[in-house]
Chains A and B, each alone.
Chain A
């Protein structure tokens, strides 16, 4: 009945101690989803492995062809890295819509992905950036596109004891990013719909586009058809409206306590229109 918090100093220590911990063990990073445990129905645990102070998980670095963001990096720290600004503009745009400043001081991208909510702002932005998620278990490591990591609301491909290690975001030159969110109020709310757009432009021509939409599907949605349609198009009013319509067709929203399906569907298009227009010269 007693509850345990195990706080390792390194991954090495963690993997070594792991077999001695109760079977129901779970990872905890910022803990921001756990404080709402009783209210939001987040599953509790008898054993938490507190990974918030493991240095390896807090690294952010620029590699040759990608940027690495450790799973334990605090949201509010992302802005301090110039290469994040350069290669992950959609993520930085999303940070301001992510919870509240005090929560961003605690919350991590790893937790955002691990919680596997279709409304996760950080994840939605990362999906539009075509990020890969890096998973580790002991010495074994595997990677997959983040968009494939989720299997349903609150469900992922994580195996028992597997740890989200970090994210690799491919470096693309001249990348623009936008994140438009429709929440329940001006600030600090869970999205009804949010659209992340990462794109490279040549004048008003879309060289590359990648669209992700939150809260409109069982998982953070990569809008493949919309992204494909936009890539290579001249960004005219006609293209914008057409892309919005394709996006409306790609989403499969539900009606719940937060919003209504048909509204969410329409807003997926409206927010995409607005994101695209913001890239017009």
Chain B
């Protein structure tokens, strides 16, 4: 009776929010003003780990405009931020665990006065023992500084056990092992953290927050104020970048603003400076990994041992889930019969690390993909051939024993980048012009979409689709736009399902009171979860509207009964009605024109004793080939070109997907080459963009991006997830290319010129010694 081909999904619609952001008209948290609003500023722990003996605002009080000091004593609810565990107090009572931690807040009439007063608050303290190195934290004689598990200074540990690893290594024809390290990464979102808390007359609190997880903010504010959830309303402001950095910590910032607002009974704005944002907001965990691989004489992988440690910092926050993802993917996208993986999230006296695009995977992917190249070299195989021999294909088992579905195009991705890059010709070329050596390197990765078994209790999402009397459509979702294009992609999915023109569809930033808790917008789950929830909401509306349209077309003289819906128009026998007319007629007939949708992710599992189970609902895949030029005198690496291929299911919006890919590659390259957050004696040395260096557009490589769409039937219009996968494989591809160019293996990220220079010098010295 009716048929519909895709009119909106798969097309490159421009960003709904593009122009307002480009023109500077977007209203971020810092731009919002409210009557009688006050300003808060944080008083920060100056030392790595302290016992707080007293806090005095004697000097701060003299600042004109000073209103009050806020400490843990002002917290009416529980003084424990509910994340996964409860070890992080909103404001510390006796012990502060890292330099930069918010110890108290001051409230003042202006932002300058608040900052000035905060700088004059005096903390009387005693220094306590602290630990900087996560490996030190795991030693039996280390002082206890944190931890939430049965092991001292450990927030989480996992294992994967499969087959007989000892036997595999005994019988192996080839063995390699290596230790690899990666440093922090700072999210570098343009908009720093910030929140405004507005007390309501019923004792409730309305929060305006830059966040990718508005429902985490609800959790935090309700807990801190000791009020019920129905009295907390969180409105997500236009969010100027997230990358995971606005997953868990905005709840802490909002709770601080709310505690202040509750005390003074006036709206309070708390906006972070860049320095504070560096010092105390989440980061990518530094990683340490020791890996061993074994292979038989034909080059089949037979075994893998992994010990993987994340430097989690002073509180647990979401380290367990980050580590879980790292654990599941730690052996690489290969079929390996014998596996022994042990992973640990270790406490240190530094900034608590949390979510960051890739979420525990880039660190371990760098390690294992670097080592895979070493193994291929040892066997004497081409790195691409070696991978093709061992990669996971549909129907095969992952490390956790999960059987892959047909939505797995990894081998095709590798073949695609191999061909496009001219790999076969270039890999043995080792071209050198003057001091510039060219090289090429590959990496592969798989990425479990969504929260997986460790976060499964959160893996659901809601949406509300409301067709107004004039035929315009409002889409409310629980998943957040943070610069990735969610508003646009969600509108496309709503348009497609309703056959509504894109320009009539408006998706709104999240209001927690409109849509039920939809979990975080992380783990590349936005399109998958939010999209499916929208479809669930729109489906009954579609049925009603399509029936109305059919009636209208027959009324207008249609006879065949064959209706085609496309591009916002309904058509029969050359007669058409528009979506708007159909919607108005729906209202005339007093039909229900608003519906809610709810989507729950399929079942996943993970056995804690042996790490076996269906860890994620589905996987996305990537293959990256990097071509680099290394200056062998200065050690400077330039990434000339990246050929990347992705299987992320159906591409909903090719332009936005390409943007995600390019942004992910550049952010991954920036982490690989430049970004180097440093601590000295427990104090962050370079909390600013002068000395914490990120790639600029001038550093960007040439991109060659290929999508191979292996459709995922559970996904919205068969899409999977794409936000993170482009970042993950860049570092090992670049490291492997450096090795190909000049013969040195750099085993730590960032791949700084200093390290390459030293390695080349050592190699040359060794050559001369021979």
Interface residues of A (CB under 8 A from B): 1, 36, 38-40, 182, 184-190, 192, 257-260, 263, 266-267, 270
Residue in A186, A190, A260, A270 whose beta carbon sits within 8 Å of that of B691 in the complex: A190
Contacts of B687 in A (CB 8 A): 39
Contacts of A38 in B (CB 8 A): 273-275
Chain B contact residues, majority secondary structure: loop
Interface bracket on B? 20 to 34
Query: Are A263 and B633 in contact, with the CB atoms below 8 A?
Result: no
Q: Decide yes or no: A257 and B686 within 8 Å by CB, A39-B274, A270-B633 being known contacts.
A: yes
Complexed CA–CA distance, A260 and B758 (Å): 11
Within residues 180 to 199 of chain B, which ones have a CB less than 8 A from any CB in chain A? Answer: none
Complexed CA–CA distance, A125 and B1 (Å): 78
Contacts of A184 in B (CB 8 A): 674, 693
Q: Of all chain B residues, which has the CB nearest A183? A: B693
Residue in A190, A257, A270 whose beta carbon sits within 8 Å of that of B634 in the complex: A270
Chain A proximity mask over B663-701: 1 for CB below 8 Å, otherwise 0? 000000000011010100000011111110101101100
Interface centre among A36, A38, A184, A190 (most CB of B within 10 A): A184
Query: Does B86 count as interface, using CB distance less than 8 angstroms?
Result: no
Within residues 607 to 649 of chain B, which ones have a CB less than 8 A from any CB in chain A? Answer: 633-636, 638
Query: Does B401 count as interface, using CB distance less than 8 angstroms?
Result: no
Complexed CA–CA distance, A204 and B619 (Å): 63
Give 16 new A-B contacts, CB below 8 A, not counting A39-B273, A186-B638, A187-B696: A1-B64, A36-B688, A38-B273, A38-B274, A39-B274, A182-B753, A184-B693, A185-B674, A185-B695, A186-B699, A257-B678, A258-B691, A259-B754, A260-B754, A263-B753, A263-B754
Q: Nearest chain B CB to A280's CB is how many angstroms away?
A: 14
Q: Nearest chain A CB to B599's CB is how many angstroms away?
A: 42
Q: Nearest chain A CB to B176's CB is how many angstroms away?
A: 29
A-B contact count (CB 8 A): 59
Residue in B685, B690, B696 whose beta carbon sits within 8 Å of that of A186 in the complex: B696
Complexed CA–CA distance, A185 and B687 (Å): 18
Query: Are A190 and B690 in contact, with the CB atoms below 8 A?
Result: yes
Q: Of all chain B residues, which has the CB nearest A259? A: B754
Query: Does B63 count as interface, using CB distance less than 8 angstroms?
Result: yes
Query: Are B699 and A40 in contact, with the CB atoms below 8 A?
Result: no
Q: Of all chain A residues, which has the CB nearest B638? A: A186
Complexed CA–CA distance, A257 and B698 (Å): 23
Contacts of A190 in B (CB 8 A): 690-691
Residue in A182, A185, A267, A270 whose beta carbon sits within 8 Å of that of B693 in the complex: A185
Q: Of all chain A residues, which has the CB nearest B690? A: A40
Chain A contact residues, majority secondary structure: loop
Q: Nearest chain B CB to A247's CB is how many angstroms away?
A: 14
Contacts of B674 in A (CB 8 A): 184-185
Q: Nearest chain A CB to B125's CB is how many angstroms away?
A: 22
Query: Does B229 count as interface, using CB distance less than 8 angstroms?
Result: no
Query: Are A188 and B696 in contact, with the CB atoms below 8 A?
Result: yes
Within residues 730 to 760 of chain B, which ones have a CB less than 8 A from any CB in chain A? Answer: 753-754, 757-758
Complexed CA–CA distance, A190 and B696 (Å): 14
Complexed CA–CA distance, A53 and B674 (Å): 38
Query: Are B690 and A187 in contact, with the CB atoms below 8 A?
Result: no
Residue in B274, B676, B696, B757 whose beta carbon sits within 8 Å of that of A263 in the complex: B757
Q: Nearest chain B CB to A258's CB is how many angstroms away?
A: 6
Chain A proximity mask over B271-288: 1 for CB below 8 Å, otherwise 0? 001110000000000000
Within residues 8 to 65 of chain B, which ones have a CB less than 8 A from any CB in chain A? Answer: 63-64
Complexed CA–CA distance, A182 and B699 (Å): 14
Contacts of A270 in B (CB 8 A): 633-634
Contacts of B273 in A (CB 8 A): 38-39
Contacts of B688 in A (CB 8 A): 36, 39-40
Q: Of all chain A residues, which has the CB nearest B635? A: A263
Q: Of all chain B residues, which has the CB nearest A3? A: B112
Contacts of B636 in A (CB 8 A): 182
Contacts of B693 in A (CB 8 A): 184-185, 189
Contacts of B63 in A (CB 8 A): 1
5 residue pairs bridging A and B, Cβ less than 8 Å apart? A1-B63, A36-B688, A39-B274, A184-B674, A185-B695
Within residues 478 to 530 of chain B, which ones have a CB less than 8 A from any CB in chain A? Answer: none
Q: Of all chain A residues, which has the CB nearest B276? A: A38
Contacts of B685 in A (CB 8 A): 257
- Closest 3 A-B residue pairs measured CB to CB? A39-B688, A187-B698, A184-B693
Contacts of A257 in B (CB 8 A): 676, 678, 685-686, 691
